[in-house]
Amino acid sequence: MRPEQWDIFKRAARGEKLDQVPMAMIIDSPWIPGYVGVKHLDFFLDPEVWFQSHLKIHQEFPEIIFVPGWWMEYGMAAEPSALGAKIKFWQDNTPSEYHTLYNIEDLEKFPDYEVEADGFMALTLHRIRMQRQRILDTGEILPLVTSRGPMCTAGFVRSTTDFMIDLVEKPEWAHKLLDLCTRLIIDWLKAQARAMGPTVEGIFILDDIVGFVNEDHYQEFCHPYLKRICDAFPKDWVKIYHNDASIEACLEHLPDVGFNVLNWGKQTDIADVIARIGGRMCLMGNVNPLEVGVRGTPDEVRAATLDVLEKSRGENIILSVGGGTSPGMPRQNIRAMLDALNAFNARRR
């Protein structure tokens, strides 16, 4: 992300009125290797392939703000791997996680974690230090540190199904696991910030499993832990929340957590989101990422993009797809989103 792009993103996140609606996209290992034509294992294990893949996309789409930008990740492996989850790697797909906490009471036997040494956190931090100066030499910066959220991490370690049962049958143990995951996430984000250096001014939390619970369970098992994470970082930092599962139970509460940018899924129309939280958060979304972004024609993408923009009236919005960029989203559909945005911005001027 270039410094001027980060400045635009920060201003949008803080609710400032911009002359033009910006466009941002979350890109990571589900989409990047297929788009640039490399194997996933090469993307993860060959530093040159990883660097050139990102550089190619940034040069191809200089108008787009990529979030978090130069994301060093092994799919969703880093957080659960530090707590003992089994990670499987594939040639042509992102890693998958398999839970190992078969009995939640075994939490008492867990050794203390070390973010600098455990699992794929250690490897990620090393990669950040390896690539940091080379990224800065391109004229870009590293403004965001990133983590899966407490519910997501707990679900990977325990298994999502078993953890959902724990919320009802063993709530005290569910809280113990969420407390552990929250402490881990805060320490993980701070370790990334140390590795990236002084350009960091924001956090990016992804937690879709929040969308699996009702409002009462959200308030008990999600809200306090997400707030602890936000409160652990400076008030003036940008705080982004991603959840492309359901946001029905948490939507009205998210501004009180401390997040100022919401990236959500296709299930809730932007007009409904605006009606429910108004100007309390900047909305990053929400063109349908799969049925439109991947499977739609450019004309369908343009129409869907204009629908989102017109419903927002260009206020308090960063144009994006409703979630991360889905595997297989082609160049022509990304260009179609940009074309529709340019036309909308031209009309506003």
According to DSSP, the β-strands at 96-98 and 86-88 are antiparallel
Do residues 310 and 317 lie in contact, with contact meaning Cβ atoms separated by under 8 Å?
A: no
What are the extents of the domains in the chain?
A: 3-348
Three-point CA angle 290, 294, 295, nearest 5° = 90
* Closest to 245 measured CA to CA, from 270, 279, 201, 211: 211
Q: What are the two backbone dihedrals, phi and then psi, of residue 27, each rounded to the nearest 5 degrees?
A: -125, 135
Close Cβ partners of 15 (under 8 Å, ≥ 6 residues apart)? 260, 279, 282, 316
The pLDDT score that the predictor gives to residue 56 is 98
Which DSSP state fits 264? E
- Model pTM score: 0.97
Instruction: Match 């050139």 to its residue by tokens.
Output: 52
Its CATH class, for the domain covering 3-348, is alpha beta
pLDDT digit string (tens) for the chain, length 349 residues: 999 999 999 999 999 999 999 999 999 999 999 999 999 999 999 999 999 999 999 999 999 999 999 999 999 999 999 999 999 999 999 999 999 999 999 999 999 999 999 999 999 999 999 999 999 999 999 999 999 999 999 999 999 999 999 999 999 999 999 999 999 999 999 999 999 999 999 999 999 999 999 999 999 999 999 999 999 999 999 999 999 999 999 999 999 999 999 999 999 999 999 999 989 999 999 999 999 999 999 999 999 999 999 999 999 999 999 999 999 999 999 999 999 999 999 998 7
Three state DSSP letters for 226-260: HHHHHHCCCCCCEEEEEECCCCCCCHHHHHHHCCC
- Cβ count near 257 (within 10 Å): 22
Q: In angstroms, rounded to a whole number, what is the distance separating the alpha carbons of residues 144 and 204?
A: 7
Q: In angstroms, rounded to a whole number, what is the distance separating the alpha carbons of residues 120 and 80?
A: 9
- For CA atoms 284, 289, 293, 294, give the dihedral sign: positive
